[in-house]
Amino acid sequence: MTSETNVLHRPCTGPAVWKGMDLADCDEWVLRLSPAQIDELEAALRAVRRLDVPLLKVSGGDFPLPTLAGELERIADVLENGRGFVLVKRIPVERYSQAGASTIFWGLGQHLGVPVSQNAAGHMLGHVRDTGRTLSDFATRGYQTRQMLPFHTDGSDVLGLLGLRAARSGGRISVVSSAAVYNALLARRPDLVERLYRTHFLDRREEHAPGERPYYALPLASWSAGRLSMRYNRRYLESAQRFPDVPRLERADVELFDLIDELAGAPEMRLDVDFEVGDLLLLNNHVVLHSRTEYEDFDEPELKRHMLRLWLTPHQGRALTPDFWGDLQSPDAGPGRGGITPRDVIAHRTAQARPDRAAIDGCDQHRSKGKP
């Protein structure tokens, strides 16, 4: 049970509170790159290629953006202090190989924050595509499937998605203001609001190391330094019920989840994003929930839907309560907060107490050594 003093009992205010119907007919949340800005990206790509270093070694200084860097600073401010999302339209990914598009995406990300691991394998640059798996497999996560993904947040401060190929049909992405959902929840069922701040249990989807607990214990909402932050993934909250030591969901919990889903999906609340090949969607998981409809893919492997993904810790991120990331992660605002700790990092930490040469030598074997 969370102290009443940490619960926000009044409606949220400010630019993070918005409704989709008010943004659908405007493009103030869209950045359309000019030819000069695209030329700047391509010049930065050439600069990285001259360095001839592995992609994951490329820093923001290695990807120079003389004028676009200022635009990225504005975007970072919108993500943290504004409506919480920006859509960058039409990076011409068709001009580049996958390695080239990945380099541009990584370079842009370096200007916005510090990439963190997206899975237990330690992948810093993720691939969102259908692998044929389904969420009925507890070792599978949503980005590996073509299934519908209800409104949720990812396990990082900031999410970035770059479209490389589109599906045959479906796969629509929508976003919604979590503060607007919170306000609607407060108006409809104020008796449920405090429950957001209680400890909930989130399935780690088999991405834990041997001996670790297979779920996180965390709140769904926190109120810190005048900001509301939310974390929500109903599928993982429900699949954590498979563990016998996780407390059973109460009727009020299910009512809370039902109402969050109803409010987030309401046509007047959500914003359906016109996300095309070459588009870059950036959003702050603390203030924006996102969803995806099921999609139908092409049969040909080279045509299948494919997006690149980054999880980022902003250079100047918000203060969070100590339990926000769960009791197994650090809440510190330094590099690397959020994300999923790679299994080899855990093994390395263990080896420091009891050195084992094989464990230490193997720590970085899975990391990308490909060059852009």
Express each pLDDT in 49-104 by its tens digit: 999 999 999 999 999 999 999 999 999 999 999 999 999 999 999 999 999 999 99
Residue spans of alpha helices (H) in 82-130: 98-112
What is the rounded CA–CA span in Å between residue 249 and residue 260?
Answer: 16
Spatial separation of the C-alpha atoms in residues 68 and 66, rounded to whole Å: 6
Residues 125, 115: contact at Cβ < 8 Å?
yes
pLDDT at 326: 86
3-state DSSP percent of the chain in helix, strand and coil, to 5? 35, 20, 45
pLDDT, position 12: 97
Other Cβ atoms less than 10 A from the Cβ of 190: the count is: 10
pTM above 0.75, yes or no: yes
**The pLDDT of residue 343:** 82
CB neighbour list of residue 243: distance below 8 Å, 6 or more residues apart: 201, 203, 214, 215
Nearest Cα to 55, choosing from 105, 4, 122, 8? 105
Q: How many helices (H) and strands (E) does the chain have?
A: 10, 17
- With cut-offs at 50, 70 and 90, classify the pLDDT of residue 345: low
- Is the distance from CB of 88 to CB of 280 less than 8 angstroms? yes
**Cβ atoms within 10 Å of 133's Cβ, excluding its own:** 14
Long-range contacts (CB closer than 8 Å, 24 or more residues apart) made by 24-28: 24/271, 24/272
Query: End-to-end distance of the chain based on CA atoms, in angstroms?
Result: 49
**Residue 335: predicted pLDDT:** 59
Q: How confident is the model at residue 227 (pLDDT cuts 50, 70, 90)?
A: very high
Helices 68-81 + 35-51 axis angle, to 10: 100
pLDDT band at 360 (very low <50, low <70, confident <90, very high): very low
CATH top class, domain 4-361: alpha beta
Closest by CA to 163, choosing from 124, 115, 112, 128, is 128
| Confidence tier at 336 by pLDDT (50, 70, 90) | low
Structural domain boundaries of the chain?
4-361
> Residue 81 belongs to what H/E stretch?
helix 68-81
Residue 123, number of CB atoms within 10 A of its CB: 18
The model's confidence at residue 359, banded by pLDDT at 50, 70 and 90, is: very low
Cβ atoms of 246 and 215 closer than 8 Å: yes
Q: Give the whole-angstrom CA distance, residue 333 versus residue 247.
A: 30
CA distances from 192 to 13, 72, 95, 182 (A): 20, 38, 51, 10
- Per-residue pLDDT, averaged over 284-304, amounts to 97
Looking at the predicted structure, is the pLDDT value of residue 348 above 90?
Answer: no
- pLDDT the model gives residue 366: 33
Confidence band (pLDDT; 50, 70, 90) for 175?
A: very high
